[in-house]
C-alpha cells in the first residue's frame, strides 16, 4: 500500500514537472497493451528516469543506477516507490527483481544502454550498444517491449559533476526546453535465454528501434522549433 502511494506520487510530480518546466510532447504510435510490459528508452539526461515515471498512468518500477539511491531524500523516495537499484557488476540481481515484478503484474522501465547516451561533437545524442538485460526480461516473462525514443535540445542540457560516496558522477539536467517522447509499437521478443547470440541480437534490435524513434522525435522537434510548424495533436504527458 505504501509503495503504491509513493509510486503514484512520483507519477503525479513527474507529470507536473513535465508540464510546468518542459515543453513535453508525447507521440503514441500504438495503444499501450494491458498488463505487465517493459518500457525501454534511450537516456540522454539524468532526469529521464524521473520523467519516465509520468509516461503512463499505472504503477511502474524502473531499473535505475545505484548512485541515484544514495542521494539524500531522492534515494529514500526511489526505494519507497518500488524502483530497483542497478549495482555496477551485479546487474543480475536487478534483472531478477525486474523479472519478479513483471511476473507479479508490474510494468518495468529500463534504459538498455546502462549509461547516459553519448553526445557527439555537435551535442547531438546518439545511442550506446545495449546490454542484454532488456531482452532477458522479455524472454524470461513473455512481456512485450515498448520502445521509447527521447529527443531534446542538447543546447539546454546542464552539465554538472557531483560527489556520491567519494566518487565523481557526471550528471546532465534538462529544464525549460522541448522534450519529445515517441513511444513505438509493442515488440514481441522470442527465442531462448540459453542462446546468448540470439539474446544479444534481440537486444540490438530493440535498441535499433529505440534509436529510430529518437530520430523520428528529433525530426518532429525540428519541425516545431526550426520551421515553426504546428505539431500534430498527441496525447499529453502522463496520460491515464
151 forms bridges with which residues in the sheet? 180
Grid cell, residue 146, equals 515498448
Chain mean pLDDT for the chain: 86
Report domain extents, the chain: 2-225
Q: What is the pLDDT of residue 125?
A: 67
Q: What is the pLDDT of residue 120?
A: 63
Query: How many H helices and E strands in the chain?
Result: 6, 9
Residue linked to cell 538498455? 112
60 forms bridges with which residues in the sheet? 107
Cβ-based neighbour number of residue 175 at 10 Å: 14
Phi-psi region of 238 (alpha: psi -120 to 50; beta: other; left: phi over 0): left
Q: With a cut of 50, which residues of the chain have pLDDT below it?
A: 121-123, 229-240
Whole-number Å distance between alpha carbons of 231 and 25? 9
Q: Which residues contact 33 (CB under 8 A, 6 or more apart)?
A: 144, 186
Q: What is the pLDDT of residue 160?
A: 87
Q: What is the pLDDT of residue 228?
A: 58
Q: What is the pLDDT of residue 124?
A: 58
pTM for this one? Answer: 0.88
Report the CATH number of the 2-225 domain: 3.40.1130.10
Angle at 238 between CA 86 and CA 105, to 5 degrees: 55
Q: What is the pLDDT of residue 170?
A: 83
CA atoms within 13 A on the CB side of 159: 7
Amino acid at each position: 500500500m505504501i509503495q503504491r502511494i509513493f509510486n503514484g506520487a512520483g507519477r503525479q510530480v513527474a507529470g507536473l514537472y513535465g508540464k510546468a518546466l518542459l515543453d513535453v510532447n508525447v507521440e503514441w504510435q500504438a495503444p499501450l497493451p494491458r498488463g505487465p510490459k517493459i518500457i525501454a528508452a534511450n537516456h540522454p539526461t539524468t532526469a529521464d528516469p524521473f520523467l519516465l515515471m509520468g509516461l503512463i498512468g499505472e504503477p511502474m518500477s524502473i531499473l535505475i543506477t545505484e548512485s541515484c539511491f544514495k542521494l539524500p531524500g531522492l534515494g529514500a523516495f526511489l526505494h519507497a516507490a518500488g524502483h530497483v537499484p542497478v549495482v555496477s557488476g551485479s546487474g543480475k540481481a536487478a534483472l531478477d527483481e525486474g523479472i519478479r515484478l513483471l511476473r507479479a503484474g508490474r510494468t518495468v522501465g529500463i534504459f538498455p544502454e546502462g549509461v547516459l547516451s553519448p553526445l557527439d561533437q555537435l551535442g547531438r545524442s546518439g545511442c550506446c550498444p545495449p546490454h542484454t538485460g532488456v531482452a532477458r526480461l522479455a524472454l524470461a516473462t513473455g512481456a512485450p517491449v515498448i520502445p521509447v525514443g527521447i529527443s531534446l535540445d542538447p543546447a539546454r542540457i546542464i552539465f554538472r559533476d557531483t560527489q556520491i560516496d567519494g566518487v565523481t558522477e557526471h550528471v546532465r539536467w534538462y529544464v525549460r526546453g522541448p522534450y519529445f517522447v515517441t513511444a513505438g509499437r509493442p515488440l514481441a521478443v522470442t527465442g531462448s535465454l540459453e542462446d546468448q547470440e540470439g539474446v544479444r541480437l534481440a537486444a540490438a534490435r530493440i535498441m535499433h528501434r529505440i534509436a529510430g524513434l529518437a530520430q523520428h522525435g528529433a525530426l518532429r522537434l525540428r519541425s516545431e522549433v526550426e520551421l515553426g510548424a504546428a505539431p500534430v495533436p498527441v496525447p499529453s504527458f502522463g496520460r491515464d
